[in-house]
Amino acid sequence: IVTGLWDVSEPCHYRSRGFMRPENRDQVDQEHRRIMEAVEARDVDRVVAELVAHQRHALAALETGPDAD
């Protein structure tokens, strides 16, 4: 599962490295923890909800770019 998710999100990795602002790091860590907790609990609905929330946050970070205030 993790490898598949990584492969799907690969295009975002190189773009996000340059502008992962410190204030976003904690949020991303928390999102990853919630995703893994849902996976470990085998709660498919929660996994999907957490992944969607994480993707929305990632897209918002990509849209604002490295120089956004």
CB atoms within 10 A of CB 54: 19
Confidence band for 57, pLDDT divided at 50, 70 and 90: confident
Identify the pLDDT of residue 3: 66
Q: Which residue has the tokens 């918002």?
A: 60
| Prediction pTM value | 0.66
pLDDT: which is higher, 68 or 42: 42
Query: Which residues make Cβ contacts (< 8 Å) with residue 13, sequence separation at least 6?
Result: none
More confident position, 49 or 19: 49
What is the per-residue pLDDT for 18? 46
Does residue 24 sit in helix, strand or coil? helix
Cite the beta strand spans of the chain per DSSP E.
Answer: none
pLDDT at 51 over 80: yes
